Amino acid sequence: MATIPHSRSGLFTVFENEEDEKRYYNSATSFSSITKCGVPWSSLDVPPAEPIACTGSGIIFKGRYGTTPVVLKVMQSSQLKTQKCFKKLLGLDHPNIVRFYGICIDDNLISSKHVSLIISYCSKGDLMRKIAHNRPLKRSNFLKWMQQTADGMAYLHRQCIAHRNLKPQKLLLDEEQNVRISGFALCKELKGANGDTFCGTALYMAPEIAAGCKHSIKVDVWSYGVVLREMLTQVHPYAPRNTVSIVLELGDIGTKKRWPDTFPLLPPSDCPTKLAELIRQCLAANYHERPSFDDILNMTKEIEDEISKIDDDEWNSKKKSWRSMARRGFCYFLNAFRLLITLAK
C-alpha cells in the first residue's frame, strides 16, 4: 500500500486491498472516460510532508510513481468536469511539456470531491527564478528557452489547445535545464475565436481577453511576447503598476486594436533587429496580425543566427543596458500615466 500524506483536510483515500481499489474506481462513473488513465495509489509513494506549493487551482505534493519523481496536484474534481480538453492533456507527448501520467480519484469527502493529477517533476524550479536573478541570462540559455517554449506551444496549438496563462512561473526547468510548459488549469480547446472567459494573469493577459472579446489560441502568442521581453530585460512587465490599471489599459488596447503612444512593453531601441521584430509581432494589438508558433519557430532560427554574432561579454553588457532602459522606461510611463490621471480629475 502506498505511503501517503496525512493532510488535515483528508484529501486522500487509502485502500486496504486491490479489490476495494478496483470497486472504488469502477464506481466513479462521472470519470468513466478518464479512469482508463487512472493511477492506483499502490503505485505511488508520497511521504508525509507539507505541500511544496499552493496554487490557485490546487495543492502540490512531491512523490514518486514507481521509480519516477512526480508531483501530485490535488484539486477539486469539478475542475476536471468543466475542463473538456483534460483527456487531450493526458495524451500530450512533447519534450517541452510536462508529462501527465494520469489521475487518482478521491470522492470520500463529505463536502466535495477531489482528484490528484500525477505530473512529471521538474527539479530546477521555474523560469521566473532565473529572470529575477541579478545576473544576466546567458545568451545560450536565452536562445534555448526562447526556442523550447515556442516549440512546446506550437505542439499545443496543433492540438487546438490554448494555454491561456503562459508566464515564466509556468515554464519549469528539468534536470537538464530544458523548459517544460506546465500550469494547464485554464487551458481550453479552441477552434477559431470562440473563447469567452475572462482568465489569466493580468501582466501576461492578451488585450482581447481584458476587453471581454472573443479570443483564440493567439492569446498565447501575446503572452509569449511579454515573456520574451521579460527574458530580454529581466524587468517585471508594467512594474510597478497595479492590476486594475493594467487590465483597464489592456482592455482599451483590445477595443481600439492599437497601442497607446506610451506602450511600456516595446523592445529596447538597440535590441537585435530580428528579436525586436518578433516581440513587436507577438504583441500586435489585433490578434489576427500575430504570428503562429510555427512561424515563431522559423523566426527564432534567424534570431539565433543574429545573436550568435554577439560574443558573451557584449551580450552581458547589452543585457545590463536593456534592464536599465526598461526600468527608466517604466518610470517615464508611470509619470505620464499619473499626469493623465491628474488632468482627468
pLDDT band, very low/low/confident/very high, at 306 (cuts 50, 70, 90): very high
Asked if pLDDT for residue 2 goes beyond 80, the answer is: no
CB atoms within 10 A of CB 161: 22
| Closest to 206 (Cα-Cα) out of 217, 41, 291, 102 | 217
Stretch (H or E) spanning 306: helix 293-307
Domains of the chain, earliest start first: 18-120 (3.30.200.20), 127-344 (1.10.510.10)
Q: Is the pTM of this model over 0.95?
A: no
pLDDT band, very low/low/confident/very high, at 34 (cuts 50, 70, 90): very low
pLDDT band, very low/low/confident/very high, at 15 (cuts 50, 70, 90): very low
Residue at 122: amino acid letter: C
Cα distances from 42 to residues 2, 45, 104, in angstroms, run 5, 8, 11
Q: What is the pLDDT of residue 255?
A: 87
- How far apart CA 289 and CA 306 sit, in angstroms, is 24
Percent of the chain with pLDDT over 70: 77
pLDDT by residue (tens digit) across 220-272?
999 999 999 999 999 988 877 788 888 888 998 888 888 876 778 889 889 99
pLDDT by residue (tens digit) across 118-154?
899 999 999 999 999 889 999 999 999 999 999 999 9
More confident residue, 112 or 181: 181
List the grid coordinates of 102. 494520469
pLDDT by residue (tens digit) across 295-304?
999 999 999 9
pLDDT by residue (tens digit) across 59-103?
888 988 888 999 988 877 666 655 566 778 888 999 999 999 888
- How far apart CA 219 and CA 75 sit, in angstroms, is 25
CB atoms within 10 A of CB 253: 21
